[in-house]
Chains A and B, each alone.
Chain A
Amino acid sequence: GQNIDQPTEMTATEGAIVQINCTYQTSGFNGLFWYQQHAGEAPTFLSYNVLDGLEEKGRFSSFLSRSKGYSYLLLKELQMKDSASYLCAVKDSNYQLIWGAGTKLIIKP
């Protein structure tokens, strides 16, 4: 079966750095997405990785290792508004998006 694993919840301090991991086992791979979802709202796109390596976009970076079936989202200089759920999603061989359950990130002052 297809599976995406993320930690359920993480806590970090304002101004710090946090890394949210995502491991996947899917039938094929055609890209990995990270989305941010605030409570009661729809997800918003953060990043897309299809090749191995690090993609940096401001305070957020995303890393992919296809051989390890592994990605992480790195958030720097954390702000209170970063408190949200972070969803990892993988596009499989049929170009279907498989979603992780999300990681709830709690930022403390």
Chain B
Amino acid sequence: QVQLMQSGASVKSPGASVNVSCKTSGYTFSHYGISWVRQAPGQGLEWIGWVIPYNGDTAYAQQFQDRVTMTADTSTSTAYMELRSLRSDDTAIYYCSRDSLNFDFWGPGTLVTVAS
């Protein structure tokens, strides 16, 4: 069965960076994109971007272009998201999702708290 497992919660200081991982299983990793979506407390869903494991191509939402990097390691079927220059309004649950235009499977989410 398809599974996406994410790294644990973290607390970061403003200005720091965070790395979130998403280890997948149950399907051919290189055949599907991985999107990252976040949800601030009490707010809606916000798409951050995606990575295509097959060739490493990425696309980022404009508001994150200059401070996010997404990568994928086909040898371990794991996707990664690095978000830099963290601010307090980056506090959110970060989800990875298998993205074949449908977001058909989701990870459980990773809580990232930005606080001084």
Q: Note whether A and B form a binding pair.
A: no
Residues of B within 8 A of A (CB): none
